[in-house]
Amino acid sequence: MKTLKRISFLAIAALFFAPTFQSCKKGEEDPGLSLRSRTARLAGEWTVTEMNQTATSENTNSSSGGSLSSGTSVEDYSFDGTALTIYSTNTSVNSGLTNTYKDTMVYDAVSMTYTIEKDGTFKSTNDMMATETNTYSWGTVTYTEEMVEEVSGTWDFNSGVGEEGSKERVYFYYNSGTRTTTSTTTVTYTDGSPTETDVDTEVFTYSYSNVPEDTWLLTKLANKEIIVDLSTNYSGSTVTTTNPSGGSSYSNTSTSSYTASGSFTATQE
C-alpha cells in the first residue's frame, strides 16, 4: 500500500511540474529540464570563448582645432577564446579628399566578460593587447597596444509580443562607457645604451541614448554556457577624447552610428 501511494505521489508531482520544466526551454539548444529560472541562469560573470561578428560604423568628427572629417568602417571580427582578428575596410573623407584602405589587426591576448546581475544591471569589459617586435642591426623596437573597453547599464528580457516567446531575447541599455588605449614603444639598443620607453594614453568617454544598444537572441541558456545571436544598433553617441600624456591635451567630438550582427559562446566557471 505504501508503495502504491509513493508511485501515485511521484506521478502527480511529475504531471504538476512538467509544464514548468517545458516552459524553461526557449532557445533551440536550451536544456530540456531546468530547476533554475532564466534570470538565475543568465546572472553571473560570463567569459566569451568564441565570437564571429560583422560591424559597420559611420562617424563625423570635429576637433577643438576646427578640423572636420568623416569616415565609414566595415569590420569582420573572429575570436577563438585567446586571439581576436579584425579585418577592416575603411573609407575616410578629410578636407574633401577620400581615402580607402584595408587593414588586419590581431590582438594576441584578449579577455571579454559580461557581468549580469539579477537586479537588472550589467557591466561588460573587453581587454585586448597586441604586441609587435621589430629587430634591427642596432637593436629592437617593441610596440604594445592595450585597449580596455568598459560599458555599464541595465538589461531586461523581452515580453514575448507576437509570435516571439517571452524571455527569448535580452535587451541591454547602455548608461555609460569608457575606452582606454595605452600605446607603448620600447627601444632597446645592442650597444648597451639606455632603453627608451614612450607611453601614450587616450581615454574615450561615451554617452548613450535610452534605447537598447545590444540585443541577444538566446539560442542556448544553460547553467554554465550560453550561445547568443547578437545584434547591435545605436546612433547619436558623443565621444569626448582626452590625451593626458605629455604637456598638452585636446578634445574631439564624434557623432556616430554603429550596427553589428554575429554570434558568440560564453561560459561560467
Looking at residue 218, what is its pLDDT?
94
- Give mean pLDDT, residues 226-253: 70
- Give mean pLDDT, residues 17-39: 57
- Give mean pLDDT, residues 67-94: 90
> Which cell numbers in the block locate residue 94?
578629410
Q: How far apart are CA 153 and CA 120, in angstroms?
A: 9
Q: How many helices (H) does the chain have, and how many strands (E)?
A: 2, 12
Query: Is the model's pLDDT at 195 over the cut of 50?
Result: yes
Q: Is there a domain that residue 18 lies in?
A: no
Least confidently predicted of 134-138, 155-159, 204-208: 204-208
Structural domain total, the chain: 1
250: left (phi over 0), alpha (psi -120 to 50) or beta: beta
Q: Are 213 and 174 in contact (CB under 8 A)?
A: yes
Q: Is there a domain that residue 7 lies in?
A: no
Q: Is there a domain that residue 248 lies in?
A: yes
Q: Is there a domain that residue 11 lies in?
A: no
> Which cell numbers in the block locate residue 180?
582606454
Q: What is the pTM of this model?
A: 0.73
| Best CA proximity match to 180, nearest among 122, 223, 239 | 239
Q: Is there a domain that residue 44 lies in?
A: yes
Q: Is there a domain that residue 6 lies in?
A: no
Chain mean pLDDT for the chain: 82
> Which cell numbers in the block locate residue 182?
595605452
Q: Is 114 exposed, middle or buried (0-12, 13-18, 19+ CB in 10 A)?
A: buried
Using DSSP, state whether 1 is helix, strand or coil: coil
- Give mean pLDDT, residues 1-14: 40
Looking at residue 162, what is its pLDDT?
61
Rg, Å, the chain Cα set: 24
> Which cell numbers in the block locate residue 201?
594614453
Q: Domain range holding 168?
A: 36-267
The DSSP 8-state label assigned to residue 15 in this structure reads H
Who wins on pLDDT, 217 or 257?
217
Looking at residue 16, what is its pLDDT?
38
Who wins on pLDDT, 233 or 158?
158
- Give mean pLDDT, residues 193-206: 94
- Give mean pLDDT, residues 43-67: 86
Q: Is there a domain that residue 21 lies in?
A: no
- Give mean pLDDT, residues 63-70: 70
Q: Which of 32-46, 98-112, 232-246 has the highest mean pLDDT?
A: 98-112
Q: Is there a domain that residue 5 lies in?
A: no
